[in-house]
Amino acid sequence: MKSGAIVLLLGLLALWAQLPPVAGDTSLSALPLRPLYVPADPRSCYAMIPHWFYNWQAKKCENFMYGGCDGHENNFEMQTDCLGKCGGHADICSLPPEVGPCTAAIPRWTYNWRAKTCEEFSYGGCRGNKNNFETEVDCLQACAGHGKTHDNLGQCCYLHRAMVGTHQAPPAAL
């Protein structure tokens, strides 16, 4: 009899764990979000680490004090990381060449804004930033007349504010 009751309880527990979230649930896991539409998220920890996030309303990377835990995709240690991932509205041609942490040694082109020319560099194959072009022609087309803002957002910055406070709808289309 006892083993039957235990099996029944375990079965009910397994069923309960598989239930979908309740309608109206506003917890972080229940929100259908596109990556990076979230503002700075210091969370509940108190480390006060300087970090960067992409502010889609201001269309730029901004700094904030990160608490140190439970961050999300719109949370970068360096401004160049934020610009590299979200930098469509930033001037990608002024970013320094970034090899990235991988070791593939892929020939690529980067714009050197000081020399006002495209230069070849060895890309590691992952991460890096948007100042990374497959050909010299692509580099020149993107950065000729350097100084203008590029509006082609990278994989960026569209998590809703609802995750940390006041809800603001994302732009209708990108």
Alpha-carbon Rg for the chain, nearest whole angstrom, is: 22
Give pTM, 2 decimals.
Answer: 0.39
Phi first, then psi: what are they for 13, rounded to 5°? -65, -40
Instruction: List the Cα angle 103/138/96 in 5-degree steps.
Output: 50
Residue 140 neighbours by CB distance under 10 Å: 14
Distance CA 67, CA 9 (A): 40
Task: Place 158 in a pLDDT band, splitting at 50, 70 and 90.
Answer: very low
Query: pLDDT category, 109, cuts 50, 70, 90?
Result: very high
CB count within 10 Å of CB 167 equals: 10
Instruction: Report percent pLDDT > 90 for the chain.
Output: 21
Higher pLDDT, 95 or 109: 109
28: pLDDT strictly greater than 50: no
| CA 43/CA 173 separation, integer angstroms | 29
- What structural domains and CATH numbers belong to the chain? 30-90+154-168 (4.10.410.10), 92-148 (4.10.410.10)
Residues 6+ apart with CB under 8 A from 41: 53, 66, 70, 71, 72, 74, 75, 163, 164
